[in-house]
Amino acid sequence: MQTTGDQQLLKRINRSVLLRLMQQQGGLSRARLAAHSGLTKSTVSALVRELLDEQWLVEASSPVTGDGLGRPSTPLQLNAIGRVLIGIEVAVECLRMVCVSLTGELLSEHEAPLDSSDPQAVCAQASGLLQPLCADLGARHITICGVGLCLPGAVHDSTGVVHFAPNLGWRNLDFLAMIRAAFVSAGIECGPVYVQNDADAAALGEYEFGAGPKDDPLIFINCDVGVGAGIVLNDRLFTGARGAAGEIGHTILQINGPLCSCGRHGCAEAFIGARAIKTSADLERAGAYLGVLIQNLDALFNPRAVVLGGKICAQYPGLLTQAKATVAQYTSQSGMPMTEIRAPRYGLQAPAVGAAALVLHRFLRPLSEGASHVFGH
Ligand SMILES: [Zn+2]
Q: Return d(Cα 253, Cα 291) in angstroms, integer.
A: 11
Res. 377: pLDDT tops 60: no
Res. 359: pLDDT tops 70: yes
Residues, beta carbon < 5 Å, ion ligand 1: 250, 260, 262, 264, 267
Q: Which residue has the higher pLDDT, 261 or 372?
A: 261
Domain ranges of the chain: 3-78, 83-201+351-374, 211-344
pLDDT of residue 64: 61
What are 10-69's pLDDT values in tens digits? 999 999 999 999 998 889 999 999 999 999 999 999 999 999 999 999 988 766 655 555
How close is the Cα of 352 to the center of ligand 1, in Å? Answer: 26
Assigned CATH class of 211-344: alpha beta
Q: How confident is the model at residue 1 (pLDDT cuts 50, 70, 90)?
A: very low
pLDDT of residue 182: 97
How close is the Cα of 19 to the center of ligand 1, in Å? Answer: 42
Give the chain's mean pLDDT: 92
How close is the Cα of 228 to the center of ligand 1, in Å? Answer: 11
Percent over 90 (pLDDT), the chain: 83
What are 175-231's pLDDT values in tens digits? 999 999 999 999 999 999 999 999 999 999 999 999 889 999 999 999 998 999 999
pLDDT of residue 67: 54
Q: Which residue has the higher pLDDT, 74 or 69?
A: 74
Q: How confident is the model at residue 280 (pLDDT cuts 50, 70, 90)?
A: very high
How close is the Cα of 293 to the center of ligand 1, in Å? Answer: 14
pTM: 0.92
Architecture (CATH level 2) of domain 83-201+351-374: 2-Layer Sandwich (3.30)
83-201+351-374 and 211-344: identical CATH topology: yes
Cβ–Cβ under 8 Å, residues 149 and 164: no
Largest CA distance in the chain: 71
pLDDT of residue 241: 85
Helix (H), strand (E), coil (C) string for 48-65: HHHHHHCCCEEECCCCEC
Residues 320-333 have a mean pLDDT of 96
Q: Which of 166, 162, 253, 144 is nearest to 200 (CA)?
A: 162
Residues 136-164 have a mean pLDDT of 94
CATH of domain 3-78: 1.10.10.10
**Beta bridge mates, 78:** 57
How distant, in Å, are the alpha carbons of 167, 260, 261 from that of 269? 14, 7, 8
Res. 70: pLDDT tops 80: no
Res. 326: pLDDT tops 80: yes
Q: Return d(Cα 286, Cα 184) in angstroms, integer.
A: 45
Cβ–Cβ under 8 Å, residues 313 and 206: no
How close is the Cα of 255 to the center of ligand 1, in Å? Answer: 12
pLDDT of residue 166: 87
Q: Which of 38, 143, 134, 27 is nearest to 377 (CA)?
A: 143
pLDDT of residue 368: 76
pLDDT of residue 373: 42
